[in-house]
Structure 1
């Protein structure tokens, strides 16, 4: 599956908006019958365009009122040291996102905790002791403006239209 057509893009958009749609509802929304829609969803999953389905939880409702952004500075930026650091980060559930970043620092983490006291304990007992950590710098979210957003797909519609026109010419 190299290119996406308008039906594939529509399927991706609808599933981002509501991953609980039945196949029949999805098919109706994108203008396909059920069987071809189901085959396309399976193909999108197999090709790696759809990587999973999950419920979005309200972190405050489940008692995780603190969201911290933690920049970790690495002692060494060598392959083995960074690999050990990445593995350790992946294994910690309180770290809900991690990005390898440019500029100062090495990793930018999003960390959740019930309160500031628990975050402080976690930073002192866990984060600072991760392999290869030289230093850490923390900022706290004072309120979310936007989170868990669907990815924009309009560039795919433009590209698939352009590709279709080129094929017809």
Structure 2
């Protein structure tokens, strides 16, 4: 795998700003030929620097305006409980992210729901039915100060 250079970083920054750039637009933006840009783009994808493209959707317009974070403590921390919990979380469409963490709890879940009533249903029907869940703490988001997927490149 080739190390990325200054031009590769320009490509990555430009695509993080607008993933819908055509190859010609991208080439113009980074001052490189379209052919050279296309080759670099293929390499960056092949080498795993670019993992995919998505559209950012409006949570509010899609009735998912309430963002919550949920700390989850498990009753046992054994490989079988971790595996069962992870498998069950992956099946929930409400869960946007789930991370195993070190510290005072085992997992941090990020979810989007319609509102408090939908969250109560999500908590009882999804979270509390997950394998091994002993305790949860919920943090509803009052204001999103920063929400980005951009990485410093």
Partner of 1:150: 150
Partner of 1:48: 48
Secondary structure of 2:92's aligned partner:
coil
Shift of 1:31: 1.7
Unpaired segments ≥5 residues, structure 2 = none
- 1:122-151 Cα deviation digits (max 9, x unpaired): 101111010111111101000111102411
Matched, 1:19 2:12: no
- For 1:18 and 1:146, the matched residues in 2 are separated by 18
Secondary structure of 1:144's aligned partner:
coil
- 1:108-134 Cα deviation digits (max 9, x unpaired): 011111110011011011110101111
Unpaired segments ≥5 residues, structure 1 = 154-169
Q: TM-score, normalised by structure 1?
A: 0.87
Matched, 1:67 2:79: no
Matched, 1:34 2:34: yes
Aligned residues: 153
Partner of 1:124: 124
Shift of 1:86: 1.0
Whose helix fraction is larger, Structure 1's or Structure 2's? 1
Please provide the CA RMSD for this pair.
1.1
Secondary structure of 2:112's aligned partner:
strand
Secondary structure of 2:108's aligned partner:
strand
Partner of 2:96: 96
- For 1:28 and 1:71, the matched residues in 2 are separated by 46
Q: Equivalences for 1:97-116 in 2 at 5 Å?
A: 97-116=97-116
Q: Which runs of 4+ in 1 moved over 2 A?
A: none
Shift of 1:93: 1.1
Confirm or deny: 8 A CA contact 2:88 2:130 kept in the other structure.
yes
- For 2:48 and 2:149, the matched residues in 1 are separated by 19
- Deviation larger for 83-92 or 6-15: 83-92
Matched, 1:8 2:8: yes
- For 2:79 and 2:34, the matched residues in 1 are separated by 47
